Structure 1
Amino acid sequence: MSKPAPKSGKGKTNEEIFANFQELRGEQRLLANKLSELGMDLNEHKIVIETLRGVEESRKCFRMVGGVLVERTVAEILPELLNNCEQLPRAMRALEEQLARKGADINQYIQSHDIRVQRVDKPDGAGAERDDATAKSNVLVASA
């Protein structure tokens, strides 16, 4: 029987290195998407706050909380929105820090495994028979 491949950095196969690299990139994309989502939430909060400031405080309004539509008054909702509007930039800064750390982790992983990401572009005039889907592709090269 053959032994399973060791788990140390030196004993990883190119497929394992590539899978780990892709996982790190996926985590980075998730962080970037979440950061973008929080930015849109902040803008929406600001728009709603400005709208509600011009409305009578006793007027009823509705707010979605955890997928449930809740009926409240403007006077009850406005302080909650203002609090959220203060909290969102802090959460965004924390995500930006995590995103920067993830980028540093990816760069370190690329260096430690001697990974080169190459972009292959179709040269002008050459290979005209290839379709556009294969004209540009990324190639991951890991040196063993």
Structure 2
Amino acid sequence: MAGKAEGGGDHREPVNEQAVANLYAAMRSELNQIHTKITELEMEVSEHSLVINAIQPLDPSRRCYRMIGGVLVERTVKEVLPAVLRNKEGLEEVISRLNEALEKKKKEIVEFEAKYKIKIRKADAEVKDESGRKEGTAQGVLVGPAGGSEA
């Protein structure tokens, strides 16, 4: 699909401002989807790391259970540990590919913004609002002395 978008992009020039805005919104949406997927997979890698750290010191012949496709299966640590390690490596590889796709999409969006002279006003408004919000959000946070919880 990426090849079609690059080669066919010249044939599908937006005809008006609304088409440009729609195309830009679709690109931003795709960027957000990639970012969400990366975050989701990073959480899974973190869970895999927790499992690995928990079962690595155990006796390899010890019984453990693994969820495979919604079914709980009884195995041994010796059988499960390599599979969990492989899954973690696979997830890390997918994350690196998605990060590459994310960077490519960011460049594409920057080029699109430059080509159509798109400026986002919302970002400027948020920067101004953040200075006022910071004080307001801190009001709901209760912070005690450093040694207060130990006493």
TM-score normalized by the length of structure 2: 0.67
Is residue 2:36 matched to residue 1:33? yes
Q: What is the alpha-carbon distance in structure 1 between the residues aligned to residue 71 and residue 79 of structure 2?
A: 17
Show structure 1 runs of 5+ residues with no match: 1-6, 125-144
**SS, match of residue 71 in structure 1:** strand
Q: Per the alignment, do residues 83 and 113 of structure 1 end up closer, same or farther by CA in structure 2, a change over 3 Å counting?
A: same
Between 14-23 and 114-123, report the one with greater CA deviation. 114-123
Residue number among 72, 75, 96 corresponding to 2:75 in the alignment = 72
| Aligned Cα root-mean-square deviation (Å) | 2.3
Q: Report how many residues are paired.
A: 117
Show structure 2 runs of 5+ residues with no match: 1-10, 130-151
Residue number among 121, 124, 134 corresponding to 2:125 in the alignment = 121
Between 14-23 and 59-68, report the one with greater CA deviation. 59-68
Q: Could you give the per-residue CA deviations for residues 99-121 of structure 1, whole angstroms, max 9, x where no partner exists?
A: 00000111111122222211363
Between 110-119 and 27-36, report the one with greater CA deviation. 110-119
Q: Per the alignment, do residues 114 and 57 of structure 1 end up closer, same or farther by CA in structure 2, a change over 3 Å counting?
A: same
Q: Per the alignment, do residues 21 and 61 of structure 1 end up closer, same or farther by CA in structure 2, a change over 3 Å counting?
A: same
Task: Please name the residue that 1:105 is paired with.
Answer: 108
**Greater strand share, 1 or 2?**
1
Residue number among 47, 53, 57 corresponding to 1:54 in the alignment = 57
**Greater helix share, 1 or 2?**
2
Identity of aligned residues (%): 32
Q: What is the alpha-carbon distance in structure 1 between the residues aligned to residue 103 and residue 114 of structure 2?
A: 17
TM-score normalized by the length of structure 1: 0.70
Q: What is the alpha-carbon distance in structure 1 between the residues aligned to residue 60 and residue 116 of structure 2?
A: 61
